[in-house]
């Protein structure tokens, strides 16, 4: 299982989003280089928990993938934001990217 995002994924961010991510990572974990911006699964979960009102991370084997959902301001069965993917790390990155691109 992949544990960190890749340089290629990091380069998907706009300059503004990359600066925002750097500020967050420096504040939270004391980043010293671009290598420190290659977020781990745990770091992304922590960032999502801080930005989602009600975070749910589920693995649906019958659908062959991961689902990350924010149940804020919605019924129990409906997500406000949802990200899906086959690889947990990639799925978390998609959701994290949405936050830093705001």
Nearest-10 Cα torsion for 48, 10, 83, 49: 0
Express each pLDDT in 41-91 by its tens digit: 999 999 999 988 888 888 887 667 898 888 865 556 677 778 888 899 999
Quote the pLDDT of residue 23: 93
Does 11 have pLDDT greater than 70?
A: yes
Locate the domains of the chain by residue range.
7-100
SS3 (DSSP) at 62: coil
**Overall pTM > 0.85:** yes
Per-residue tokens: 66: 């991961």
Per-residue tokens: 98: 């949405």
């Amino acid at each position: 299982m992949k544990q960190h995002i890749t340089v290629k994924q990091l380069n998907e961010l706009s300059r503004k989003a990359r600066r925002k991510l750097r500020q967050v990572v420096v504040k939270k974990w004391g980043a010293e280089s671009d290598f420190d911006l290659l977020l781990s699964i745990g770091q992304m979960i922590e960032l999502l928990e801080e930005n989602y009102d009600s975070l749910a991370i589920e693995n649906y084997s019958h659908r062959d993938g991961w689902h990350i959902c924010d149940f804020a301001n919605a019924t129990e069965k409906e997500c406000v934001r949802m990200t899906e993917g086959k690889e947990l790390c990639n799925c978390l990155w998609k959701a994290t990217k949405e936050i830093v691109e705001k």
